[in-house]
Chains A and B, each alone.
Chain A
């Protein structure tokens, strides 16, 4: 068998693995229950909260990732390696540990001060956004940096010889050139935030109609042995996730070509 065929077979195997997992849900699928659960106030709240918090977290993470990625991609500075390494923290520390770190932070004097003088994060919907932001920031920065690494520094140099300031060269040349990479960074950050569970539950808790994102709703249904309800929520979450990713991929393929 040729290498091409083997590699295609592996690609389909990956697809089949996930397809089997999704299709196995249908064993517990009840049509009437699906509609009822989908349009229940609690489910709609979870969907709205998940989309809202994931979007805010992904926007914040991408916005912060752009200048950081620029520095890591274009500049040499003391401590660059340390900054670059710490980006992987959310990947090497489990999300639950990351959530616990946030919880501990808000119990120290500085965290307390932020909570009393600023915004409430512990057991609050703000905590969901913060947990999702912290878990996605590293991914967003890493992907944005990869996108910027692809754009030769030479473009900015030439733009500057033509009279552009460093900022103008960045905004007029580098940023538009890496817009597809940026879109990918945002989409993947959003997808990761949508599915975020460990840090969210640790920091924001499991309060129905308050901090109940879709993953937390799934956890709550499962913990009460409501398998049918769990299946419905998983299907909803899968549909939203795959649908959004696919739609954005189509849009970016059509509209973001250089």
Chain B
């Protein structure tokens, strides 16, 4: 288990503020954040490459805050991978074992098995300069694991790869993590990567962790508007709690010209009394478009208005919708087949519908 307690560190004028995290043994924790949010600085602080101004780092309950880098038993794969260009693939992979003076046959077999698992066994004699991008990533991962450290820090290791190869390597990493019982802390700016790989996900904004939780919760219930905006959710509307019962909240959203019914559990911090100000949000892909005015199954959260724009993208498309009597724009994401089926045109009068459980409350 890797534990960070109230870590603070500085790099020039940028600072990490009171970061606390616990990465359970054998799990993958992904910190997702924009470029410049402090992700790399955090990893460097954990490794001891940056001096902590306060806080501590614990590995399996043992404090390692002041340990030299080589004694921390944490492997690190930086963004540029830092494969040693003067060594062959095999020499890169065996570097850690050689430095630790481990020569036994069991480890050699383990390394061979690792290379076979990720499909780089036949590359053993190749020089690093002759590898493709995907092969380099695989070598870097195997090198980090072969050193015998069970804790692994990954700094956007797949960011330089194209989408297809990146997805392929996600599966490789998942496989390695499970088979080698690795405790992984990874940072990335790619949300899809974070939600795919992370057992738990943290959102980092401006040097602070704004939200941590299981991937689904973080995805569905952003803790604040900054997190929601980081996830690209633009459907965020101010509201006021009009009434609440045991099972639902009724929130008046003047900007939408509607009252929304939201089930309890949609917010991390529930408002407790009528009149409380709040913010309602919904992901564009969770907004339903209806051509009929009101199907029988829709009882609430239905808004009529005009389709103001259709932005064609590829597999999915973005529609912009303006509720009647307002100037608010609601963003809707629809799959290509749905758009074709609905046969929508700009200026059409349509209705949209929010499923209660898709709404989140901040």
Residues on A with beta carbons closer than 8 Å to the beta carbon of B95:
159, 162, 164, 172
Q: Taking CB as reference atom, which chain B residue is nearest A179?
A: B86
Residues on B with beta carbons closer than 8 Å to the beta carbon of A173:
84, 86
Task: State how many angstroms separate the Cβ of B359 from the closest Cβ of chain A.
Answer: 44
Docked pose: A81 CA to B95 CA in angstroms: 36
Residues on A with beta carbons closer than 8 Å to the beta carbon of B75:
161-162
Contact A258–B85 (Cβ < 8 Å): yes
Residues of chain B from 57 to 90 with CB closer than 8 A to chain A in the complex = 68-70, 72, 74-78, 80, 82, 84-86
Docked pose: A208 CA to B109 CA in angstroms: 68
Instruction: Tell me which of A30-38, A53-61, A103-111, A149-157 binds B.
Output: A149-157
- The answer, yes or no, to whether A158 is at the interface (CB within 8 Å) is yes
Contact A165–B70 (Cβ < 8 Å): yes
Residues on A with beta carbons closer than 8 Å to the beta carbon of B280:
none
Task: State how many angstroms separate the Cβ of B143 from the closest Cβ of chain A.
Answer: 7
Contact B80–A162 (Cβ < 8 Å): no
- The answer, yes or no, to whether B49 is at the interface (CB within 8 Å) is yes
Task: State how many angstroms separate the Cβ of B80 from the closest Cβ of chain A.
Answer: 7
- In the complex with contacts A157-B49, A158-B76, A163-B86 CB distance below 8 A: no
- In the complex with contacts A162-B75, A164-B99, A157-B69 CB distance below 8 A: yes
Task: State how many angstroms separate the Cβ of A167 from the closest Cβ of chain B.
Answer: 11
Contact A163–B84 (Cβ < 8 Å): no
Residues on B with beta carbons closer than 8 Å to the beta carbon of A168:
99
Contact B100–A152 (Cβ < 8 Å): no
Task: State how many angstroms separate the Cβ of B154 from the closest Cβ of chain A.
Answer: 12
Residues on A with beta carbons closer than 8 Å to the beta carbon of B86:
173, 176-177, 258
- The answer, yes or no, to whether A160 is at the interface (CB within 8 Å) is yes
Contact B70–A163 (Cβ < 8 Å): yes
Residues on B with beta carbons closer than 8 Å to the beta carbon of A176:
86
- The answer, yes or no, to whether B96 is at the interface (CB within 8 Å) is yes
Task: Give the most central of A159, A162, A166: most B CB within 10 Å.
Answer: A162
Residues on B with beta carbons closer than 8 Å to the beta carbon of A177:
84-86
Task: Give the most central of B69, B72, B85, B148: most A CB within 10 Å.
Answer: B69
The count of chain A contact residues (Cβ–Cβ below 8 Å) is 19
Per-residue contact bits, chain A 162-186, to B (CB 8 Å; 1 contact, 0 not): 1111101000110011000000000
Contact A164–B78 (Cβ < 8 Å): no
Contact A157–B99 (Cβ < 8 Å): no
Contact B147–A163 (Cβ < 8 Å): yes
Residues on B with beta carbons closer than 8 Å to the beta carbon of A172:
95, 99
- The answer, yes or no, to whether B252 is at the interface (CB within 8 Å) is no
Contact B82–A158 (Cβ < 8 Å): yes
Residues on B with beta carbons closer than 8 Å to the beta carbon of A158:
76-78, 82
Docked pose: A166 CA to B71 CA in angstroms: 11
Task: State how many angstroms separate the Cβ of B191 from the closest Cβ of chain A.
Answer: 26
Q: Taking CB as reference atom, which chain B residue is nearest A153?
A: B49
The residue that B69 contacts in the complex, of A152, A155, A160, with Cβ under 8 A, is A160
Contact A161–B69 (Cβ < 8 Å): yes
Task: State how many angstroms separate the Cβ of A153 from the closest Cβ of chain B.
Answer: 9
The residue that A162 contacts in the complex, of B49, B78, B85, B96, with Cβ under 8 A, is B96
- In the complex with contacts A177-B85, A258-B85, A258-B86, A161-B80 CB distance below 8 A: no
Residues on A with beta carbons closer than 8 Å to the beta carbon of B77:
158
Residues on B with beta carbons closer than 8 Å to the beta carbon of A162:
75, 95-96, 99, 143-144, 147
Task: Give the most central of B47, B82, B149: most A CB within 10 Å.
Answer: B82
Q: Taking CB as reference atom, which chain B residue is nearest A175?
A: B86
Residues of chain B from 78 to 133 with CB closer than 8 A to chain A in the complex = 78, 80, 82, 84-86, 95-96, 99-100, 129
Contact A154–B147 (Cβ < 8 Å): no
Contact A163–B74 (Cβ < 8 Å): no
Contact A163–B100 (Cβ < 8 Å): yes
Contact B99–A161 (Cβ < 8 Å): no
Task: State how many angstroms separate the Cβ of A135 from the closest Cβ of chain B.
Answer: 32
Per-residue contact bits, chain A 137-154, to B (CB 8 Å; 1 contact, 0 not): 000000000000000101
Q: Taking CB as reference atom, which chain B residue is nearest A155?
A: B82
Residues on A with beta carbons closer than 8 Å to the beta carbon of B96:
162-163
Docked pose: A177 CA to B86 CA in angstroms: 7
Q: Taking CB as reference atom, which chain A residue is nearest B153?
A: A161
The residue that B70 contacts in the complex, of A152, A154, A161, with Cβ under 8 A, is A161
Task: State how many angstroms separate the Cβ of A258 from the closest Cβ of chain B.
Answer: 5
Task: State how many angstroms separate the Cβ of A74 from the closest Cβ of chain B.
Answer: 12
Residues on A with beta carbons closer than 8 Å to the beta carbon of B80:
152, 154
Residues on A with beta carbons closer than 8 Å to the beta carbon of B85:
177, 258
Residues on A with beta carbons closer than 8 Å to the beta carbon of B68:
160, 166
Docked pose: A216 CA to B195 CA in angstroms: 75
Task: State how many angstroms separate the Cβ of B6 from the closest Cβ of chain A.
Answer: 24
Task: State how many angstroms separate the Cβ of B94 from the closest Cβ of chain A.
Answer: 10
Residues on A with beta carbons closer than 8 Å to the beta carbon of B143:
162
Residues on A with beta carbons closer than 8 Å to the beta carbon of B82:
152, 154-155, 157-158
Give residues in B with beta carbon < 8 Å to A: 47, 49, 68-70, 72, 74-78, 80, 82, 84-86, 95-96, 99-100, 129, 143-144, 147-149
User: Could you list 11 examples of A-B contacts with CB < 8 Å?
Assistant: A152-B80, A154-B80, A158-B82, A159-B84, A159-B95, A162-B96, A163-B99, A163-B100, A163-B147, A177-B84, A258-B85
User: Which 7 residue pairs spanning A and B have beta carbons closest together?
Assistant: A162-B96, A163-B99, A160-B69, A158-B82, A161-B76, A164-B99, A163-B100
Give residues in A with beta carbon < 8 Å to B: 152, 154-155, 157-166, 168, 172-173, 176-177, 258
Given A157-B82, A158-B76, A163-B148, output 16 extra A-B contacts at Cβ < 8 Å.
A152-B80, A155-B82, A155-B84, A158-B78, A159-B95, A160-B68, A160-B70, A161-B47, A161-B69, A161-B74, A161-B76, A161-B149, A163-B147, A165-B70, A165-B99, A166-B68
